[in-house]
Each structure stands twice: as C-alpha cells, then as structure tokens.
Amino acid sequence: MKIGVLTGGGDCPGLNAVIRAVVKASSLKYGWDVIGVEDGFTGLMTSVRVREMTPKSVCGILPTGGTILGTASDINPMKVKQFIDGKEQIVDLSRLIVKNANGLGLSSLICIGGDGTLRIANHFYLLGLPVIGIPKTIDNDILETDSTFGFHTAVNTATEALDKLHTTAESHRRVIVVEVMGRYAGWIALEAGISGGANVILIPEIPFQIEAVCKKIMNRYEHGAGFSIVVVAEGARPVGGEMSVIKRTEDGSVLRLGGIGNKVGEEIAARTNVDVRVTVLGHIQRGGSPVPFDRSLATRFGVAACDLAAKQQFGQMVCLKGGEIQSVSLQDATRGLKFVSTEGNEVKSAEALGVSFGR
C-alpha cells in the first residue's frame, strides 16, 4: 500500500505532529510507503510535486510549528487561473488531480485541512479518490469535532498576550483593544478572553452595540478599575453593520479580514475620554510550537486516519467526541461551520462575571 498525505489551507501548530503520526503509523504499524504531497492540492496539479516520507524524514518535527510539506491557501482546484493562448482563463483541474493521484498509485490520500480543504477533499472523494480527512485550524470552527488541533496553541498565544497587555493597560489606565483571528466563529476571542480576564469580548456570533461596550468601560472607570481589555475577533461586526473585509475574491467571497480592532478602538476613543491602544495579534497566533494538547490530538488523529485507510473507510473525517477519537462523513463535517452558542455555557459563564459581549 502507498498512502499520500497533504496539508492545505492556512497553517497551524500541530501540522507537523500529524504528518509525523501519519508517516510513523503507516510505516511502523502497517508497513506502507508514504508519499508527501507538497503545497496542498497544488502538488497534484500541472507539475506533480511529491516526496517519499519515512520515519527518518519526520524525525524531530513533533514540536515544530508550520508544515514541512508546505501548504496553499486561497487555491480552489475547481477554479484555477491559467493563461491559455495568451488569455487568462478559469479552469477546473479536478480531473487532472484525480489522474495524477491515480498515477502515483495512492491507495489512500490523507487530506489535513480546515473547512475549505475538507470541502475540496470531499469533492475528490465524490470523484473517486480514496480520501480521508483530518480537521485542523486555529479557528476551531469545524463541525462534528469537539476540537481541532492548533486551536489550543492559538488560545495559549492570545492568552499570554492578554496577560502582558493587562499589566501595561493597568499601569497607564488605558483601554487596550486586542484583535484576534476568527472569521465567522469567535472561539479564540471567547476562550482567550475568558482565560485572559478580558472585560469585553466581541465575537462574530453576537453583533455588538458600541454603546454597550463604552458603558462597560466607563462603568469600570467609575468603580475603580481604571483600565479595560477588549478582545475583538477579526470577524466581529456592529449590529446592522458589516464585517471588516480587506479583500474579496472575484466572485465576492471574503478572502481577508482586518481592521475591526482599530474601528472599535477609534469608536471607544471618540465616545469616552479614555486613552486607547490597539494591538492586532495576526499571524503570531498561527505560529509557534504546539501545546501538549495539540500535539497529542494531532498524533491521535494521524493514527486514526491510518486506521481508517486500513479499513478502506474513505470519505470520512477523523474527529474528537467526548474525549474519544471517532469518524464522521466529510459530507456531514463540511455542511457548515461550528459556531459559538450565543446562550451557551462559555458565554453565560463570562457574562456571570460581568464580561460584556456588547449586547
């Protein structure tokens, strides 16, 4: 048996841990050969870019950030820009990818990715490739799994930043607005906000009223705590307003977000008499060494994906449910996104301590 593995979409801590697990389990548990596909599905396009992987080639990568295979975000194999006869055209390279994967003699293809990559993986499963999915993303927004790896490391990074910002905010009696990642789901803002003792948490699931945010801040000034920490997910938006989109694709879907932290900071400064600073954490949240939880989850996911390959259970995604590793169909896992429950335990617990969600 020959198994292929690729990483697609934005990187996250734990990708190398999962690659290592796939390679070692394939080789040591099953005696299979492993082929690493470079830069996500682009490694199976016009020029095939693959490499042989052995336990030796993954030695030492468990604690490292990034992905040794490389990745590609914003690439949709069904809509690839190509110049044909000097003219730019959008072409569907799906059939070519299927042909190339079959040409490599892959008995299964393990696709590690977020919602976009997993949706593409399901597309290839439906076209006949023996695909198995592994969910990754710092955003933790994949359906049918309690957690994705990468998320806990990002929360750790954001929480450490909040701890540091707390002391300087307090020293200067300032409001510090911290923009974190989270396009449509506010998991990082919520968990880091709770863990880092934020006073205001703004998430995409709860459109905020700036008046409520300012009321909370002024209330803290009036009652002694002369500083505030406001955590804003990049996808947060005011009631009746829009997300802060920097770039869209040609068909209008959101490509890049950014700027809501500054907008919230400016609004607070304009409506209160308070000194405000804004920090955008950005891609710092995507890098660094994975925390133990992410290393362990990535390892368990990698082994479970090989076990699915051994049983020829294709079109499935490994997942975590109640502490156990299970699997679900890629179809079910990609029918939407996993959002924060606006009345769930996390939000309610934070509100019980006086945290404002701007509502």
Nearer to ligand F6P, 257 or 278 (CB): 257
In this structure, what token pair is assigned to residue 316?
């499935």
Nearer to ligand F6P, 25 or 189 (CB): 189
Give dist(CA 40, CA 311) in Å, integer: 24
Backbone dihedral angles phi then psi of residue 270, each to the nearest 5 degrees: -70, -30
Give dist(CA 91, CA 251) in Å, integer: 15
- Residues in contact with ligand F6P by the rule CB under 6 A: 10, 73, 114, 137-139, 181-183, 234, 256-257, 286
Closest approach of ligand F6P to the CB of residue 281, in Å: 11
Provide the CB-side half-sphere exposure for 334 (13 A, CA).
23
Q: 347 Cβ partners below 8 Å, 6+ apart? A: 190, 206, 340, 341, 357
Closest approach of ligand F6P to the CB of residue 59, in Å: 28
Nearer to ligand F6P, 138 or 210 (CB): 138
Closest approach of ligand F6P to the CB of residue 87, in Å: 28
Nearest to 299 by CA among 8, 28, 76: 28
Is the CB of residue 264 less than 8 Å from the CB of residue 209?
Answer: no
Active site residue 141: no
Neighbours of 90 (CB within 10 A): 12
Nearer to ligand F6P, 39 or 139 (CB): 139
Closest approach of ligand F6P to the CB of residue 188, in Å: 8
Residue position matching structure tokens 């880092």: 196
Q: How far is CA 271 from the centre of its chain?
A: 34
Give dist(CA 302, CA 136) in Å, integer: 11
Give dist(CA 61, CA 199) in Å, integer: 38
Which residue out of 115, 139, 141, 294 is catalytically annotated? 139
The answer for 10, left when phi > 0, alpha when psi is -120 to 50, beta otherwise, is beta
Nearer to ligand F6P, 78 or 255 (CB): 255
Nearer to ligand F6P, 172 or 256 (CB): 256
In this structure, what token pair is assigned to residue 1?
């048996």
Closest approach of ligand F6P to the CB of residue 142, in Å: 10
Contacts 24+ apart (CB under 8 A), 215-222: 215/356, 216/356, 217/175, 217/268, 217/272, 217/274, 218/272, 221/274
Is the CB of residue 319 less than 8 Å from the CB of residue 328?
Answer: yes
Closest approach of ligand F6P to the CB of residue 221, in Å: 32
Give the active site residues.
139
